[in-house]
Chain A
Amino acid sequence: MSGATAAPLLRVEGLVKHFPARGVQRQQGSVVHAVDGVSFEIAPRETLGLVGETGCGKSTVARLVTRLLEPTTGRVEYDGNDITRWSRRRLRPLRREMQMVFQDPYSSLNPRRRVGSIVGDPLRAHHIGTRSERRSRVAEVLSLVGLDPSHADRYPHQFSGGQRQRIGVARAIVTNPRLVVADEPVSALDVSIQAQVLNLIDDLHREFGLALLFISHDVSVVRHVADRIAVMYLGQIVELAETERLFAAPAHPYTAALLAAVPIARATRPRRARVPVTGEPPSPLDPPSGCRFRTRCPFAQQICAEAEPPLEPRAGSLVACHFPLHPPASV
């Protein structure tokens, strides 16, 4: 599915979020460049994967998109409306349509409340239905996510990690949202359980035609769920492409390095990890000039330090690089 053709459900443009630094650096006026000019669209029913390493700004993007954070500059458009400056009150009805699933199923559920009441919360908040209608809707979504509806009066600690994440998913879909933002929804889970939750997200996505912004540090997980993938590095999108294309022919050197670094569980693989790039991401307090990846990039030239490469269309995808890999002809 391509996000460019259908009218987008979500459109963000030039999103920037700077946080004041902490400690001594705050007095010096330093800012953390958490997100620095991010633009993308998500079509109805589409899954966009957002992948990147620690500190690249992907979670900040999730919170900006859902208006849990105020952007420094930039726009967030939902269903054709610019909601960037909407008040909390005005946003309320939108919250029904836009829900979030968080990483940690242990801290995102109130331990002192029963599961039925946690899942029913969004319904109460939006005054949807009568009490008994709400109760039957809760039972319905609990069984949708594979939990026993009769467990609605249990507390979160009575469930395993995977089941808790199902509760988190149930809460997110109870209002029939059109967009779900899932921030590392399976990262806290063991692999055998992770697969259960990924399949569940897949089913719900298909069945209810949700659009999904799926954020993860795990390239293989994102590959499994996403139609298109945006790769972030130090607050910026460096490549945005359809999933198949991104994996077949990564154009940005960082994307290529990220894919090559993942250890693969196959017997036919040559043993020992290769080292695709040296060093570690620089501090977002003081990002490098020009291309932010240049300090670690094996192909960096003089121009990479001088000019910031724009995110430009190239053979059906978008790449921000002066010297992209895989010339389009060979793709």
Chain B
Amino acid sequence: MALLEVRDLRVSFATREGEVRAVNDVSLSLERGRTLGLVGESGSGKSVTSMTMLGLTRSPTTEIAGEVLLDGIDLLGLSDDELRSVRGRRIAMVFQDPLSSLHPMRRVGWQVSEAIRAHENVGKKAARARSVKLLRSVGIPSPETRIDAYPHELSGGMRQRVMIAMALALGPELLIADEPTSALDVTVQAQILELLARLQEERGMALILVSHDLGVIAEQTDEVAVMYAGRIVEHGPGETIIGSPMHPYTLGLLNSIPHVDGPRTERLMPIPGSPPSAVNLPPGCAFHPRCAFARLSCEGEVPSLQSVESGHRIACPVVAQDPSLVSASSP
């Protein structure tokens, strides 16, 4: 059985402007020790999907439907208290901005210890000793002294290492990292990504990496799900999605980015228009107003994911029927 199984997840928020349908019928599964990349642009629903798994979007104005099964237990059905014991212990999360996730007036050692003591009955001394070990394992130099530093005394990369140490404190089986390196410079990003990969390997942990950066996703993940307007539009092995994408949106994304290697692109091929508002999604396939291959039929029904080859699914009946359409414009 897969470690995580998400079935028909739907999340919508009631706002003054109307109902924001942030996530629509998202299904995915993840085996132990594997890495899933969740990629999409702002507002595609990738963060809401991952936060909902941890119950972080619960509120009176949020409507959540579907199932999030961790080892067969539906997390959506758990009470807040029950969920709290899952969070940290079995699933942990690392966010984009470590400065706003850390308590500014507490020493980092206190914060890591607190993460341990909230779940386990250990003394202060023992928790502190474990914190030092954790900080060392995430590559913080001289952790015995850094443990008494305040967040503002650490650099951005070091703060993110502290966040990772806190997330790993209880040995979770699944780590969700939501844009963990987007606030960092590239040379530091490379260090954090390498750290995540190493820790994952050592601990056999599953990882969901949420990112807008196709490069990060390509280098770091086994499987990739591409999201657009709250739906997964393409899903498959990383090499396939990056190397021979079939959904017109994925193709458009890959064609819009300039590269640091290979010959210099004379002209980028952007996707025309801009992403739709989640309050007012276009009928049928939400991508059709921007799509070069759109047919009249695309405005009708919302396309569901269908298999095009083993393990590779796209939500585009037009391309699924005639793959030669996209092979000409492959990146």
Contact = CB atoms under 8 A, between A and B. Distances in A.
Nearest to B35: A271
A244 B264 contact: yes
Interface string B132-170: 000000000000000000000001111000000000000
Contacts, number: 151
A271 B191 CA distance: 14
Interface in B267-293: 267-272, 274-275
Q: Bin chain A's interface residue count.
A: 35 or more
Interface string A190-234: 111111101100100000000000000101110110000000000
B191 A160 contact: no
A89 interface: no
B42 A195 contact: no
Nearest to A259: B260
A128 interface: no
B185 A217 contact: yes
Given A53-B185, A272-B197, A273-B220, A267 B256 contact: no
Contacts of B253: 191-192
B201 to A, nearest CB: 10
Nearest to B267: A199
Contacts of B240: 267
A193 B185 contact: no
B213 A263 contact: yes
A199 B155 contact: no
A265 B272 CA distance: 21
A264 B215 contact: yes
Interface residues of B, number: 51
Interface string A148-190: 0000000000001111000000000000000000000000001
A265 B254 contact: yes
Interface in B234-266: 238-240, 242-244, 252-261, 264-265
Interface string B70-95: 00000000000000000000000000
A243 B265 CA distance: 13
A192 B243 contact: no
A223 B193 contact: no
B258 A223 contact: yes
Contacts of A269: 218-219
Interface in A224-279: 224, 243-244, 247, 257-269, 271-278
Contacts of A273: 189-190, 193-194, 197, 216, 219-220
Contact of B187 (A160, A194, A257, A272): A257
Nearest to B268: A195
Contact of A219 (B157, B186, B272): B186
A162 B260 contact: no
Contact of A265 (B185, B242, B270): B242
B68 interface: no
A286 interface: no
A243 B157 CA distance: 29
A54 interface: yes
A103 B73 CA distance: 45
A219 B260 contact: yes
Interface in B172-192: 185-191
Contacts of A217: 185-186
A195 B193 CA distance: 26
Contact of A280 (B188, B218, B264, B269): B188
B270 A199 contact: yes
Nearest to B274: A160
Nearest to A160: B274
15 contacts: A190-B41, A191-B214, A191-B256, A192-B252, A192-B270, A195-B257, A224-B258, A263-B189, A265-B218, A265-B242, A267-B239, A271-B219, A273-B190, A274-B194, A280-B158
Interface of B: 41-42, 155-158, 185-191, 193-194, 197, 212-220, 238-240, 242-244, 252-261, 264-265, 267-272, 274-275
Given A265-B217, A278-B191, 18 more contacts: A53-B185, A54-B156, A192-B253, A195-B256, A195-B257, A220-B258, A223-B258, A261-B187, A262-B186, A264-B259, A264-B260, A265-B242, A265-B259, A267-B243, A274-B190, A275-B194, A280-B185, A280-B187
Interface of A: 53-54, 160-163, 190-196, 198-199, 202, 217, 219-221, 223-224, 243-244, 247, 257-269, 271-278, 280-281
